[in-house]
């Protein structure tokens, strides 16, 4: 099914592939720790956004990390200027994600507010957690690729060169 964003040329095939790739990584990402009443076992959007941005080298593909507020919540997401696109890697109070949005759509800019900057503690914590997440993402990605290659009977040797560890 084609979306309105695709019809109007905001999102292209590469955008859809990126969305599917991120979704695949996030689906296999384990919780951060033990469950408790404060939801400390969950990764924050800041942690996940910085890690995905670094892991997939999205800076070189025109994506930047935006930090601000989504309605009343401190939040992080990715944005690209041309074509203008918001990629909310880990949406607030949502089931599902990531989501890709056209910021020119009615109401979208009002929801994603970059005039409010994150506090120093949140930024520092996100940097610390990003290192942990990058290791996890590498393991998840390499294990997924290894399983995919085994199923397809392709030779894993050249395609797994960048993977440090396979469980």
Q: For 15-38, what is each residue's pLDDT tens digit?
A: 989 999 999 999 888 877 656 655
Q: For 94-150, what is each residue's pLDDT tens digit?
A: 777 899 988 877 667 667 776 666 677 776 777 777 778 888 888 887 766 545 544
Q: For 37-52, what is each residue's pLDDT tens digit?
A: 555 667 888 889 999 9
Angle of helix 120-152 relative to helix 45-55, nearest 10 degrees, comes to 50
């Amino acid at each position: 099914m084609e979306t309105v964003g695709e019809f109007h040329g905001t999102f292209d095939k590469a955008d859809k592939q990126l969305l599917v790739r991120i979704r695949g990584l996030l689906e296999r990402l384990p919780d951060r720790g033990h469950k408790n009443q404060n939801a400390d076992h969950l990764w924050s959007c800041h942690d996940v956004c910085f890690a995905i941005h670094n892991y997939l080298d999205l800076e070189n593909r025109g994506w930047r990390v935006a930090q601000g507020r989504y309605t009343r919540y401190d939040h992080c997401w990715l944005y690209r200027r041309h074509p203008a696109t918001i990629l909310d890697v880990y949406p607030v109070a949502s089931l599902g994600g990531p989501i890709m949005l056209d910021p020119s759509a009615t109401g979208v800019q009002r929801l994603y507010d970059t005039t409010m900057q994150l506090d120093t503690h949140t930024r520092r914590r996100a940097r610390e957690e990003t290192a942990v997440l990058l290791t996890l993402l590498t393991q998840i990605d390499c294990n997924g690729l290894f399983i995919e290659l085994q199923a397809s009977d392709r030779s894993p040797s050249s395609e797994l060169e960048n993977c440090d560890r396979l469980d």
